[in-house]
Amino acid sequence: MARTEETLNPFLIAQKQVRWAVTELGLPDAVYEILKQPLRVLEVSIPVVMDDGTVRVFTGFRSQHNDALGPTKGGLRFFTEVSVDEVKALSMWMTFKCAVLGLPYGGGKGAIICNPKELSKRELEELSRGYIRNVSQIVGPEKDIPAPDVYTNPQIMAWMVDEFSRMRERNAFGLMTGKPLILGGSAGRNEATGRGCVTCAVEACKRLGIKLDGARVVVEGYGNAGSVAARLIHDMGAKVIAVNDSKGGIYRAEGLDPRAVLEHKEKTGSVVGFPGSEPVSNEELLQLECEILIPAALENQITAEVAQGVKAAIISEAANGPTTPEADEILAEKGVFVIPDILASAGGVTVSYFEWVQNIMNYYWTEEEVNEKLRVMMARAFDAVYQMHRTKNVTMRRAAFMVAVNRVAEAMKVRGWLD
In a domain, 416, yes or no: no
**Domain end among 335, 364, 379:** 335
- Provide the pLDDT for residue 8: 67
In a domain, 414, yes or no: no
How many CA atoms are closer than 13 Å to the CA of 57, on its beta-carbon side? 4
Whichever domain contains 208, its CATH number is 3.40.50.720
**Domain end among 107, 136, 171:** 171
Judge whether 109 counts as a catalytic residue.
yes
* Residue 224 near residue 194, CB atoms below 8 Å: yes
In the chain, how many domains are there?
2
- String of b and e for 20-34 (b: at least 16 CB within 10 Å)? bbbebeebeeebbeb
Bridge partners, 64 (sequence order): 40, 108
Element (H, E) at 406: helix 396-414
In a domain, 387, yes or no: no
> Where is pLDDT greater, at 388 or 300?
388
- Model-level pTM? 0.91
Q: 69 by DSSP, 3-state: which?
A: coil
Same domain, 55 and 96: yes
In a domain, 73, yes or no: yes
In a domain, 177, yes or no: no
Same domain, 234 and 149: no
Domain encompassing residue 73: 38-171
DSSP state, residue 223: S
Q: Which residues contact 342 (CB under 8 A, 6 or more apart)?
A: 93, 96, 97, 100, 397, 400, 401, 404
Whichever domain contains 53, its CATH number is 3.40.50.10860
Same domain, 317 and 212: yes
> Where is pLDDT greater, at 149 or 201?
201
Same domain, 204 and 144: no
Q: Which residues contact 233 (CB under 8 A, 6 or more apart)?
A: 198, 201, 202, 212, 217, 240, 292, 294
Same domain, 201 and 70: no
In a domain, 14, yes or no: no
DSSP state, residue 30: H
243-285 pLDDT, tens per residue? 999 999 999 999 999 999 999 999 999 999 999 999 999 999 9
- Provide the pLDDT for residue 13: 85
Same domain, 146 and 279: no
Same domain, 165 and 231: no
Average pLDDT over the chain reads: 95
Catalytic residue among 97, 109, 179, 265: 109
Same domain, 161 and 197: no
What is each CA distance from 155 to 33, 307, 332, in whole angstroms? 38, 38, 41
Task: Give the pairing of strands 40-49 and 72-79.
Answer: unpaired
Q: Report how far apart the first and last C-alpha atoms of the chain are (Å, whole number).
A: 41
In a domain, 62, yes or no: yes
- Provide the pLDDT for residue 3: 42
In a domain, 12, yes or no: no
- Provide the pLDDT for residue 381: 97
**Domain end among 117, 139, 171:** 171
